[in-house]
Structure formats: structure tokens, C-alpha cells
Amino acid sequence: MSTGAIIIVIAAAVVLVTVLAAGIVRARGSGRKNALRRHFGPEYDLNVAEHAGDTKAAERELEMRLRRYRDLKTEPLSGELRERYLAEWVGTQEQFIESPEYAVAGADQLLARLARDRGYPSDRYEEQVAALSVHHADCVQGYRQLHVAAARAREGRADTEELREAVVHARPFFEELVKPPHHASDGHQGHQGHAGRTGRKTHVWHIGKAGAR
């Protein structure tokens, strides 16, 4: 084989190896993105938006959350503590009729305590939400919305409808954290009530536009 032919063969091999390597890198990147999307669901798109569309930066942050909090050990609530939280949530929603701002502030504090009692970090709100997003990605945004609404209410910048929506959107998060161990996450728990140890049902009410109902 002539020297020119050998050079052509080597160049072609180099090009082929480069193309294959690029394909492997793309496949790995796509696999990583798909895995993060499956795990985080809506949290993935929210994080990309918060990074102004920078997908790589968003994925780096989500991967950091996974490394830090994936193996976090949490505990279910005791029956007595669960009943206490259920009653407190109902009371908070009833209070909304008289004082929406106070009710939202109370609900925000309730969710922070509930997360702490389940074993999530409690020193800083941002750290707590990051850990919760790993384990409750489908509903943690409701907690964020309520927290923001409570802050806006303290500043006198939130109207009643915004506060009402915040409480309604936070309810799935509350139900997710308060449900008993091994309870099916079917989304119907709050609608059908929660049976306590005595068989009594403590209903999680919806808040209509005119208040709790």
C-alpha cells in the first residue's frame, strides 16, 4: 500500500473514531437528561427556566441535589402527630375566611414544621426545598408558591385570590407529606377524608372563592 493510501486510511479511521466518540457523548448526555426528567418531572423544566434556559447549568444543579439528598432518611408521622397536622390544616383553611393573610402565614409555617418532622432539613428554607424536590418533585412547587404568597402578604402586596390559590395549590404537598406509610399516592386522599385511630374522619377542605367550604 502506498504512503498516500495509508494516510487516507488513517485519516478515515480518525474521523470514524471522532464521530463514534461524539455519538457516545451525545447518547450519554441524552440519557442523563432523560433520567433527570423522569426523576424530577415538572421540577426539571422549572429549574431550566430559573437558569434562563441554560440546560447544562440546570442539570448540574439537579444532579447536585440528587447526590446530596437522594439517600436522605425520612420517617413517617406517628398517628397522633398526623391527626394533629390534619386538624391544624383544616383550622388554617377555616381561618382563611376571617384573615387570609394570617391563614397563609400559618399554613407556610405548618408546612415547614411538617417537613422538619418528616426528617427534611430545617435550618434554611432553600435547603429544605432542595431536599423536598428530590423526594416530592411533583408537588413541591405548591410549597414554594405558598411561601412566596406568605412573604408577599407580609408586605401587603398579595390580594385574596392570590392567597386562596396558594393554599389550594399547597394542599397536594401537604397531603403527600402527611399520608400514612405505604399509602397509595392516588391523589384521592384529601377528597375522601382521613380516618384517625378512632375512625373519625378529619376532612381536608377546599377553599372556594368565598372562603372555606
**125-135 mean pLDDT:** 97
**135-144 mean pLDDT:** 96
- Name the more confident of 117 and 180: 117
Kindly report the pTM of this predicted structure: 0.72
**76-100 mean pLDDT:** 96
Distance CA 132, CA 150 (A): 19
Q: What is the pLDDT of residues 89-112, one digit of tens each?
A: 999 999 999 999 999 999 999 999
Q: What is the pLDDT of residues 174-196, one digit of tens each?
A: 999 999 876 544 433 333 344 34
Residue 18: C-alpha distances to residues 13, 28, 30, 130 (Å): 9, 15, 18, 38
